[in-house]
Structure 1
Amino acid sequence: MKHVLLPTDFSENSYNAIKYALQLLSEEECTFHLLNTYTPILYDNEYLVYSATQPTLTEIYKNNSLRGLNRILKRIKKNFPNEKHEFKRISSFNMLSDEIKEQVKEKEIDLVVMGTKGATNADEILLGTHTVHAIKKTKCPLLAIPAHFEYRPPKEILFPSDYETDLPPLLEILQEIAARNASNIHILHVYFGPSLSEEQEKRKKALGEFFKDQGHHFYSIADKSVPQAIYDFQEDNEIDLLVMINNKHSFFENLLFRPVVNEIGFHVKTPFLVIPSGKKR
């Protein structure tokens, strides 16, 4: 049975991500852990001044959090009844990224699914702050769903790779998704200058062997930035899911955790699955 963590702030954006997870995993036995954290809104001057004289303030926020989780659960059971799915509620006084990290370890979470929305509040968005923090700290696959994205089976999957790291064990989740949806995996390599090294060639061959039971295709694009190459590929091809390996030594680090070229940005138009490069727990 899979354990899936679903962070929610009770917005329609976060519920849209929950809907995506329920549909993506409709055929699997899963325990979904609905998570709401409420720490940030308490860290203000008013709370620091009055908390000593209002000992029940934390309880008020806790109760509001639990009521919100109950409303979400009621909505899920009404719109997505599924005997294969079990739900648990988590209300926590904690920072979101820290709580996600703790829950992933404690509950042995297999996948985190969350909505993401940047400062522009646009449908095509630069990854939001909460999502980036969660990606940095989370040691399991994380699936980010853009606002207003309507679920469709991930038939066409784009998987950029620089062939600089060995295949992580957690890449199995991509294999599972592709097998369940009869997906085509488009493996995209962006390069500058020389061709692949011997080690890169070995890793490319290993990827082909790993996905031997799934439809897959290799592409090479020269002399473009990674964001531009991804953007252009998605413009020319209808992609349902973007997948990347999070390795601090790879181009992923440059893509998300450093300033990206403003005129291009890294706009997420489709669900975005980030897979840690580390070992399984």
Structure 2
Amino acid sequence: MKNILLPTDFSDNSWNAIKYAISLYKEEKCVFYILNTYTPTIAHSRFMAISDHEKMSKDIVRANSEKGLMNLVWKIKSKYNNEHHSFVTISSFNLLVDEVKNIIETKKIDLVIAGTKGASQLEEVFMGSNIVRMIKSIKNCPVLAIPSNFKFIRPSEIAFATDFNRFYTESELRPLIEMARSFQATIRIVHVQYEIKALTEVQQFNLGMLRKYLGELPHYVHTVSELNSVSKTLEVFANELDIHLLAMLHYPHSYMEKMTREPIVNRLAFHTQIPLLVIPELGMNASCFSVNKEASENPSRTLKN
């Protein structure tokens, strides 16, 4: 049974993400934790007494949050009525990202699925400030970002964007592998290069390990030239190969980090294209470090083993 966290602010884009999640896992047993956070804008010091008016305001906001969650669950059940799915609502007086991190730990969440905002909101960075904060802050759970207008398509074509410069652990790749197996998807490994050139021996080693982890899953490697920006290149690649979901690891100097630092004008076209699965850097144990160190120091010997 999977534990899926669905943050919601009762907006259309969060409802679209919920619909995607329900459709994505319609054949699997899941517990969906539906979270709404509220933080009334009450300015007071912790040294000041809270007035009756402030208490009443907080009570009203909490009641609205709880009622909204109750109505949302009723809406889901009336529309989908899936016996494999159960729902738990959480109304929390807290900041969204802080509460998401807390729930991931306490409820053993396998995946966070959240909606992204439209590209027309220029003040929002990349996909919306909240989801970017989640991606940057969550270190132990993958996040699946669903564009506001994206209609569910069974992900039979999944792109995994990587530069092969980092050693992969099996635990980090597990969300990608499980999703590909569940939907019998083909994985398109896409490597964006500013200038096309042969892989280094370390990159070849990391590619070899990646292929080993993917095993019998159908997968192909695509090397593409960068078009103005990483995000633009991935957008074109996704369109040409009819990609239904893009996955990438998030670690220092990764594609994900590069994309969040690109000028906003370069990111707008990519902003609302396809769902994005961001897998956090889970860390490597000592054996992983030793393997990668050996590969760096003597790649040719390691590759022969």
Sort the Cα spacing of 1:118 and 1:196 in 2 relative to 1 into closer, same or farther, 3 A.
Answer: same
Sort the Cα spacing of 1:12 and 1:192 in 2 relative to 1 into closer, same or farther, 3 A.
Answer: closer
Partner SS state of residue 164, structure 2:
coil
Sort the Cα spacing of 1:70 and 1:243 in 2 relative to 1 into closer, same or farther, 3 A.
Answer: same
TM-score, normalization by structure 1: 0.90
CA distance in structure 2 between the partners assigned to 1:211 and 1:273 by the alignment: 17
Q: Which residue of structure 2 lines up, in the alignment, with residue 191 of structure 1?
A: 193
1:269 paired with 2:267, answer no
1:17–1:145: 8 Å Cα contact kept in structure 2?
yes
Partner SS state of residue 265, structure 2:
coil
The answer for unaligned runs of 5 or more in structure 1 is none
CA distance in structure 2 between the partners assigned to 1:177 and 1:2 by the alignment: 12
- 1:251 is displaced (CA, Å) by 2.8
2:114–2:146: 8 Å Cα contact kept in structure 1?
yes
Q: Which residue of structure 2 lines up, in the alignment, with residue 52 of structure 1?
A: 51
Coordinate RMSD, CA, aligned: 2.4
1:101 paired with 2:105, answer no
TM-score, normalization by structure 2: 0.83
2:248–2:255: 8 Å Cα contact kept in structure 1?
no
Instruction: Give runs of aligned pairs for residues 163-174 of structure 1, distance below 5 A.
Output: 163-168=164-169, 169-174=171-176
User: In structure 2, which of residues 241, 247, 258 is the aligned counterpart of residue 237 of structure 1?
Assistant: 241
Choose 192-201 or 4-13, whichever is displaced more: 192-201
Aligned residues: 275
Q: Which residue of structure 2 lines up, in the alignment, with residue 154 of structure 1?
A: 155
Give the AA of the match of 1:117: K
Sort the Cα spacing of 1:119 and 1:237 in 2 relative to 1 into closer, same or farther, 3 A.
Answer: closer
1:247 paired with 2:251, answer yes
Choose 147-156 or 50-59, whichever is displaced more: 50-59
CA distance in structure 1 between the partners assigned to 2:52 and 2:85 by the alignment: 43
CA distance in structure 2 between the partners assigned to 1:15 and 1:47 by the alignment: 36
Give the AA of the match of 1:186: R
- 1:12 is displaced (CA, Å) by 1.8
Partner SS state of residue 69, structure 2:
helix
CA distance in structure 1 between the partners assigned to 2:154 and 2:226 by the alignment: 32
Question: What does the per-residue CA deviation read over 1:92-141, in whole Å, with 9 as the maximum and x for residues that have no partner?
Answer: 0111111111111111110000101046159xx93111110011111201
Sort the Cα spacing of 1:88 and 1:99 in 2 relative to 1 into closer, same or farther, 3 A.
Answer: same
User: In structure 1, which of residues 27, 32, 43 is the aligned counterpart of residue 41 of structure 2?
Assistant: 43
Question: What does the per-residue CA deviation read over 1:196-253, in whole Å, with 9 as the maximum and x for residues that have no partner?
Answer: 2211101111112222222111011235432232022123121110111111232321
CA distance in structure 2 between the partners assigned to 1:172 and 1:11 by the alignment: 31
CA distance in structure 2 between the partners assigned to 1:47 and 1:127 by the alignment: 33
Q: Percent identity?
A: 38
Give the AA of the match of 1:213: E
- 1:261 is displaced (CA, Å) by 5.9
Partner SS state of residue 32, structure 2:
strand
CA distance in structure 1 between the partners assigned to 2:180 and 2:19 by the alignment: 19
Q: Which has the higher strand share?
A: 1
Give the AA of the match of 2:41: Y
Instruction: Give runs of aligned pairs for residues 75-154 of structure 1, distance below 5 A.
Output: 75-118=75-118, 120-121=120-121, 126-138=126-138, 139-154=140-155
Partner SS state of residue 52, structure 2:
coil
Give the AA of the match of 1:177: M
- 1:46 is displaced (CA, Å) by 9.6
Q: Which residue of structure 1 lines up, in the alignment, with residue 282 of structure 2?
A: 278
CA distance in structure 2 between the partners assigned to 1:152 and 1:86 by the alignment: 23
The answer for unaligned runs of 5 or more in structure 2 is 285-305
Give the AA of the match of 2:130: H
Sort the Cα spacing of 1:201 and 1:98 in 2 relative to 1 into closer, same or farther, 3 A.
Answer: same
